[in-house]
């Protein structure tokens, strides 16, 4: 089958890989002019890690990724309030995890697809279902016909809107997240995730290779008066919300203009009754975004892509059967992941100083694997068996 995929992030290339593997002809469309590089650092484990192994890309991910050793909470003056060794996560995942910039995992998955037909700087603007396929209109006005169309275009998916209209399926979890990268930031703690909290706000930094540092900002959305969209507005919002919160934060904000890959968005989840309609389906954040609070959106996006391709293979191309099995197999699992992610908001941005102290105390406890399992077991564990679709 010829299958048009809108979005070349994580889910898009994973789907293209498995469709090619099963003899289909995927075509990737990506709104950006080239593969997006850099980005925030993601933690990667669980079923996504297993799929990456089946794709033969684990070595490459570890080469490009990091093995952080410690999470450290610091006070206004940089003194350590709490620390947690990453050994606990290593124990919970059997050592099967890696931290890696989003752009590097996206690139690795895309490279695994070989010379898959890809149209950068192109995206879908309309879909029309025909008896034997879907006619797609592209942003340059041209049209193309596909047997199936897949939306892998992230949290604010355009394909989702074309399928279901402007229905409100984005559930705001009450926080905003921002990130940027900077070269040459003088303070570095290698292999350590350093974070500072005051009530409702967190700023963190991670030292990367090539003298780069990644900064992450999280705050309760009540602190953001208007959601910024353009870069100057985002910078102004970060100054307003995070300025004067102690530690190195003012120093970091002073470097905002020199930063790259500035990202800002609300923290939200996509909760849809179904991910398919006719010959069109959604995968990844477009279908069931769990939000960054889950710490696992990448692996889950890959799982959706893998299962969708696998069910198409198993149903010998009968998309109605395959789409139904895809939803049946994953919807409950993703709903549980969304539920447990919502409980993590208080971890990132406690509401009060007492809450910050309690969180730090729990983090200190989690240095012992048995407590780590109690506190984070739900989030880390994947209660699903990944099917084998070979043959």
Ligand X SMILES: Cc1cc2nc3c(=O)[nH]c(=O)nc-3n(C[C@H](O)[C@H](O)[C@H](O)COP(=O)(O)OP(=O)(O)OC[C@H]3O[C@@H](n4cnc5c(N)ncnc54)[C@H](O)[C@@H]3O)c2cc1C
Q: Do 338 and 55 contact (CB within 8 A), yes or no?
A: no
**Residue closer to ligand X (CB basis): 34 or 321:** 34
Judged by CB under 6 A, the chain residues 1 through 40 that form the site for ligand X are 6-12, 29-32, 36, 40
144 binds ligand X (CB under 6 A): no
At its nearest, how many Å lie between ligand X and the CB of residue 110?
10
Among 24, 60, 72, 123, binds ligand X (CB under 6 A): 123
Q: Do 93 and 85 contact (CB within 8 A), yes or no?
A: no
At its nearest, how many Å lie between ligand X and the CB of residue 279?
18
**Residue closer to ligand X (CB basis): 108 or 298:** 298
373 binds ligand X (CB under 6 A): no
333 binds ligand X (CB under 6 A): no
**Residue closer to ligand X (CB basis): 285 or 311:** 285
Judged by CB under 6 A, the chain residues 37 through 66 that form the site for ligand X are 40, 42-44
**Residue closer to ligand X (CB basis): 75 or 212:** 212
* Encoded tokens for 17: 């890989």
At its nearest, how many Å lie between ligand X and the CB of residue 354?
26
Contacts of 38 (CB under 8 A, 6+ apart): 101, 102, 103, 181, 260, 261
**Residue closer to ligand X (CB basis): 4 or 133:** 4
**CA pair distance 192, 206, nearest whole angstrom:** 6
Q: CA 7 → CA 23, 42, 297, distances in Å?
A: 21, 19, 16
Question: Quick check: helix, strand or coil at residue 131?
Answer: coil
Number of residues that bind ligand X (CB under 6 A): 34
Cα angle 42, 338, 176; round to 5: 60
**Residue closer to ligand X (CB basis): 36 or 277:** 36
How long a stretch of residues is the chain? 391
Integer Rg of the chain from CA: 21
At its nearest, how many Å lie between ligand X and the CB of residue 203?
13
Judged by CB under 6 A, the chain residues 351 through 370 that form the site for ligand X are none
Question: Quick check: helix, strand or coil at residue 45?
Answer: strand
**CA pair distance 373, 332, nearest whole angstrom:** 22
Judged by CB under 6 A, the chain residues 287 through 316 that form the site for ligand X are 292, 295-299, 301
At its nearest, how many Å lie between ligand X and the CB of residue 289?
6
**Per-residue x/- mask for ligand X, residues 196 to 235, rule CB under 6 A?**
----------------------------------------
At its nearest, how many Å lie between ligand X and the CB of residue 103?
10
Q: CA 136 → CA 99, 128, 229, 317, distances in Å?
A: 37, 6, 28, 20
Strand residues in the chain grouped as ranges (E): 2-6, 25-30, 41-45, 70-74, 80-85, 97-101, 117-120, 124-130, 133-138, 143-146, 148-151, 170-183, 192-198, 201-207, 212-220, 260-270, 276-277, 280-282
* Encoded tokens for 110: 């895309």
**Per-residue x/- mask for ligand X, residues 268 to 287, rule CB under 6 A?**
----------------xxx-
102 binds ligand X (CB under 6 A): yes
Q: Which stretch binds ligand X (CB under 6 A): 70-78, 108-116, 153-161, 307-315?
A: 153-161
Taking the mean position of all CA atoms in its chain, how far away is CA 194? 21
Angle between helices 297-314 and 319-342 (to 10 degrees): 160
| Site of interaction with ligand X (CB under 6 A) | 6-12, 29-32, 36, 40, 42-44, 102, 123, 152-154, 158, 177, 179, 284-286, 292, 295-299, 301
């Amino acid at each position: 089958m010829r299958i048009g995929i809108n979005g070349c992030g994580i889910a898009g290339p994973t789907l293209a890989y498995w469709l090619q593997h099963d003899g289909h002809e995927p075509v990737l469309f990506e709104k950006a002019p080239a593969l997006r590089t850099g980005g925030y650092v993601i933690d990667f484990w669980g079923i996504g890690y297993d799929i990456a192994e089946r794709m033969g890309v684990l070595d490459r991910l570890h080469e490009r990724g990091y093995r952080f050793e410690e999470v450290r909470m610091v006070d206004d003056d940089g003194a350590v309030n709490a620390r947690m060794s990453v050994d606990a996560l290593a124990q919970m995942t059997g050592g099967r995890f890696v931290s890696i910039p989003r752009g590097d995992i996206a690139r690795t998955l895309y490279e695994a697809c070989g010379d898959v037909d890809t149209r950068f700087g192109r995206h879908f603007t309309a879909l029309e279902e025909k008896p034997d396929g879907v006619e797609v209109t592209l942003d340059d006005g041209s049209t193309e016909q596909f047997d199936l169309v897949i939306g892998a275009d992230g949290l604010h998916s355009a394909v989702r809107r074309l399928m279901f209209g402007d229905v409100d399926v984005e559930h705001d979890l009450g926080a905003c997240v921002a990130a940027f990268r900077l070269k040459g930031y003088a303070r570095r703690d290698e292999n350590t995730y350093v974070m500072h909290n005051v009530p409702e706000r967190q700023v963190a930094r991670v030292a990367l290779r090539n003298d780069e540092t990644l900064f992450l900002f999280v705050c309760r959305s009540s602190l953001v008066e208007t959601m910024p969209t353009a870069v100057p507005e985002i910078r102004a919002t970060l100054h307003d919300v995070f300025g004067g919160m102690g530690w190195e934060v003012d120093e970091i904000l002073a470097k905002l203009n020199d930063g790259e890959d500035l990202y800002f968005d609300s923290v939200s989840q996509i909760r849809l009754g179904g991910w398919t309609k006719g010959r069109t389906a959604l995968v990844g954040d477009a279908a069931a975004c769990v939000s960054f609070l889950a710490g696992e959106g990448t692996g889950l996006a890959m799982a959706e892509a893998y299962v969708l391709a696998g069910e198409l293979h198993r149903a010998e191309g009968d998309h109605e059967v395959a789409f139904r099995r895809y939803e049946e197999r994953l919807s409950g699992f993703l709903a549980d992941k969304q539920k447990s992610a919502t409980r993590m908001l208080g971890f990132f941005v406690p509401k009060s100083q007492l809450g910050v102290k309690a969180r730090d105390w729990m983090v200190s406890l989690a240095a012992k694997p048995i407590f780590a399992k109690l506190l984070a077991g739900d989030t880390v564990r994947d209660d699903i068996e990944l099917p084998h679709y070979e043959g």
